[in-house]
Structure 1
Amino acid sequence: MRTSHKSPLQLEKNPQKPLFGSFLQGFETLMIGMIASVLIAFLVLYPKISWAQAQTPAFQSLKVINQKVKDFLTTQSAGSPGKPEITVTPMEEGAQLSYCPSPEAFFPPNSAAWGRTTVGVRCGQPKPWTVYVQANVSIIANYVVAGAPIGQGQIITANELQLQKGDLTTLPTGIFTEFNRIIGQTARMSLVAGTVLKKEMLKMPLIVQKGQSVRVSSGGKGFSISTDGQALNEASEGELVKVKVSNGSVLNGIAKENGIVEVGGSSR
């Protein structure tokens, strides 16, 4: 009978295969566990880091600034005696400002929501900055012109008057937006048809003096708002008057009796 004998080389080589494989498998498991532990620790130690923060832009969108200016002027011109039309001069594309979560628009001194104007936009945090944007606010409304020739000393009736529509910001101060304060007044001078009527052309009493304290009133369907202000020009009843209110804004309205200035949709 023959007995099978394995060589010493075979006896040493075969048992090491499963031992080496087990070592690799254990090492792989250990590395996966370490990586998982690091990820879990990162999420626990830094909970404030989020996907939204990772997507925060580095620079401020100039379109956002331009829209902020337009929205601000829309709000500020809401009290004007007509329909505001706002044009914002876009900022140069090359301007780079750090991202601001809450930019704020404001009026620099001597600016108003009337004609050519300037609006400031500032950022408080995280990195403060301030820019100034040019804009134009047109107020489209009716105003009164002579519909027929008017002689000096003539008492004016509705037959001599006519309404035209245009941009009030391009017209001089002292114009009229309604007939009622012109009818019955006497012309100081001869006027040709088409002349834009102004207070100095008529003999009529002033009801608002420059620098006078007035009451600004605005109303609509179901609401009424009023505040104190200071008249920036003299006016007769029915004329346009500019008023500076307590927050520094300048509103445009129609002079009424007893120191009242109406803004908003109250005049046509």
Structure 2
Amino acid sequence: MRTLLVSFGFLLAVPALAAGQVDLATVQRNAASWLDQQLSQYQGQSSYSFGKLDSRLRLDACNAMDVKAAPGYRLAGNSMLRVTCVDGATWAVNLPVKISVQATYYVAAKPLAAGHQLADGDLAPQQGDLGQLPGSVILDPANALGRTLSTAVAAGGAVRSEMLRAPIIIQQGQKVRVLMRVGEIEVSNDGYAMNNASEGQNVRVRVGTSTIVQGIARADGAVLVTE
């Protein structure tokens, strides 16, 4: 799913003042350049306004800055940018910013019950300001279709990633194919699943009358056991 959390930075050449210091307005301009690049991925309108840095702040001359979202912040609503000098000095400042991003997110097209597996027609696009919505709202329906709701959603309610779980592909008591792999050797056998499992989850399988093995559920319904 596309996300607003940003973990990478952006290096920018920074002109220094004659007195050997960086103008605070220069810090803001470079932060704006980075932010413009990040917000360009959204087709809807976006805007932002910076808070003020303390005018008494004095920053040593810097040849290049790194800009990124401060830890724990996303690029929507009331946020914070971390601007760090990475060439010429060792300072770092937090720059407050309020961001509005008009984007498409997805809501329930009709009442959806817990345990329902999402399919075409279950989701409807909605326009809104991501700064006014939870950061986990679904922005790409491909990240939701085929998954199962862990809670009911009313018609028009935003669908969020924490509501979704991968579909159960192995049911408790189901006969499954067990692939036992040791090095380059693979042996296949049949067994019975002892618990439900989604793709990638652990599943215990009874093979024969008394042997219990544990493996990983595969998308095709088989269980892979490695030694």
Interval of TM-score (by shorter of Structure 1 and Structure 2): 0.3 to 0.5
Q: Which has the larger radius of gyration?
A: 1
**Higher share of residues assigned strand:** 2
**Higher share of residues assigned helix:** 1
Instruction: Please give the TM-score of this superposition, normalised by the length of structure 2.
Output: 0.47
